[in-house]
Every structure is written in C-alpha cells, then in structure tokens.
Amino acid sequence: MEFDARLAALQPLGGFFVLRTGEPPHGPLPTLAEAYAPAVACARDPRSATGDTRGATGDTRTATGDPLADRVRRVAEGIAAPEARVAASVAQQALAARLWSVALGCAVRYGRIPDLDPRLLRWDPAGSAPDDLWLTAPRPGAGGDAASVAEAVLHGHLRPLAAALRARHRLAPGLLWGNAASALAGAARQLARSAHELGRPDTGERARTLAARILTHPLLVGTGTVTGTDFRRRSCCLYYRVPGGGVCGDCCFTRPPRSPRPRPR
C-alpha cells in the first residue's frame, strides 16, 4: 500500500494503532524528545521558578513543564500506586505499547514506517490513545523490516525513555526491557487479532513474524520466551503491587508475591 500522509491505513485497526497527524488542534504540546530530556533540564527552566507552568515549548497542558513526571503522577493517581516507581513502570509499558503498535501497524500495512523522530511526535501526557500522540510532519521513513522498526522504536524512543525513568526512579534495566518486550508481543497479538477480524490473516502473520525477529534484538533478547503466539517474560512490571492488581498474563510470577512495605515517595 502506498504511504499516505494521513496514515489512513491505521484507522481500521483502532485504538493504540492510530496515529494522528499534523498539529494538535487544542494548542501546542511537548514533544517526546522533551519528555525524554533529563529532569534537571525541566528543573532549570526559569518558568518553573516564576509559577509559569507552560513548559519549554509554550505547552499549556502539562502541570509542571515536565511531561514525563506529569504522566507518572497521573498514572499513580489513576491506579492508586503505592510508590512512584510502580506508576513509572506502568507508564513506560503503556507508551512502549503505543509506539510499537504504530510502528508495527505501518510496517505491515505500508511496508515501511514514517519518520518517528521524537522531535516530530507531540505528546499529551494527560491523554489516551489515539489523542495522546500527534505526528507533526508525516513523511516516509525507514523500511518496514525488523532492523528499521527496532532502530526507530528501541533506539529512537525506548532507550532515552528508560534513561529518563531510571534517573528519576529506582527501576532495574531488566524490568524496563521486559516491559518493552511485553509491549511488543502484546501489540503483535492485537494487530493479528484485528487483521483477522478485517479478513487480512496475511497482515497478522507478518506482524507476528516481525515481532519475533525484533525480540532477537540485543536489547530484548533474553527478556522472555516465545511459544507459538504466547510470550512469557522473565521479569515483572510491578503491577501486582497495585491494590487488586494481580499478575499480568505474561508475568514471570504465577501468583502475586508478597509485597514489601512501600518506600517513601
């Protein structure tokens, strides 16, 4: 299918797979590049010291000018997280799933992905899919092979996101890469399911094959095992620590371990 600037081929897939294009209609939003910036950059923004909470790009929809901190705080409030690092893990996995979904969807429908440079993606930390992300300059990017998708998502987004979160919260690298792998496997399963419903089993098979190849990337290898279409990770995202959370379907635990006392925030 020929690439189109509206990414219309993603629309039938729904939810996490849709990517809005152009400028957000409700005013400027921070870019993902700004969200991945070190926390000290936000702390040094002179606006924060004067009570101006618009952030470095004039954004009026972040509470502190630090979009990543705002997202973690919002997730913590929504799930009643007992400590910030639990919310940070959940937030990271959700954003990873969003990025994998867009990239996989484009790869299997167009045969290539758009340019997903973090500076081109505007992000609403208070939003949900598909209105959380806007690609301001939609243009063809790399091919749709595993290496191209991994370069765009793993290196372009998930490495700087992991670094930003580890600088703020005590999150093990294995946990974060396990989240990334789990999000990839989940996106591939959902894409295959949607493709089947649309009468496109070939699309689903391409998605599964592509995800399996990406899971052999050095950053993801060893994060879990693939059996057929199932993925079982070797780490835990900490969701079991949320009140009533239990364990996820691909968790390394079969039942929630006993939770330690929450650390001070």
Q: What is the pLDDT of residues 177-221, one digit of tens each?
A: 999 999 999 999 999 999 999 998 888 899 999 999 999 999 999
The predicted structure's pLDDT at residue 263: 55
What DSSP assignment string belongs to 78-136?
HHT-SSHHHHHHHHHHHHHHHHHHHHHHHHHHHSEEE---TTTEEE-TT--TTTTEEES
The predicted structure's pLDDT at residue 245: 84
Tell me how far CA of residue 143 lies from CA of 146, 179, 205, in angstroms.
Answer: 9, 25, 18
Average of pLDDT values for 19-23?
Answer: 95
Closest CA to 225 of 182, 183, 191, 188: 182
Is pLDDT of 61 > 80? no
Indicate the pLDDT class of residue 51, thresholds 50, 70 and 90.
Answer: very low
φ/ψ bin of 105: left (φ > 0), alpha (ψ from -120 to 50), beta (otherwise): alpha
The predicted structure's pLDDT at residue 256: 82
Read off the pLDDT of residues 229-258 as tens digits, 9 standing for 90 and up: 789 999 999 989 999 888 898 888 877 886
The predicted structure's pLDDT at residue 55: 38
Average of pLDDT values for 101-119?
Answer: 97
d(CA 225, CA 210): 16
Average of pLDDT values for 132-151?
Answer: 96
Q: Are 119 and 31 in contact (CB under 8 A)?
A: yes
- Cβ-in-10-Å burial (0-12, 13-18, 19+) of 99 comes to buried
The predicted structure's pLDDT at residue 48: 32
Is pLDDT of 49 > 90? no
The predicted structure's pLDDT at residue 21: 96
Which residues in 71-81 are b (16+ Cβ under 10 Å) and which e?
bbbbbbeebeb
Average of pLDDT values for 52-69?
Answer: 58
Indicate the pLDDT class of residue 63, thresholds 50, 70 and 90.
Answer: low
Is residue 130 reached through a cis peptide bond, with omega within 30 degrees of 0 on the bond before it?
A: yes
The predicted structure's pLDDT at residue 218: 96
Average of pLDDT values for 48-52?
Answer: 30
Is pLDDT of 52 > 60? no
Report the share of the chain in percent with pLDDT over 70: 87
Mean predicted lDDT score pLDDT of the chain: 88
Is pLDDT of 45 > 60? no
Residue partners of 200: CB distance under 8 A and separation at least 6: none
Neighbours of 2 (CB within 10 A): 7
Is pLDDT of 53 > 80? no
Length of the chain: 265
Indicate the pLDDT class of residue 39, thresholds 50, 70 and 90.
Answer: low
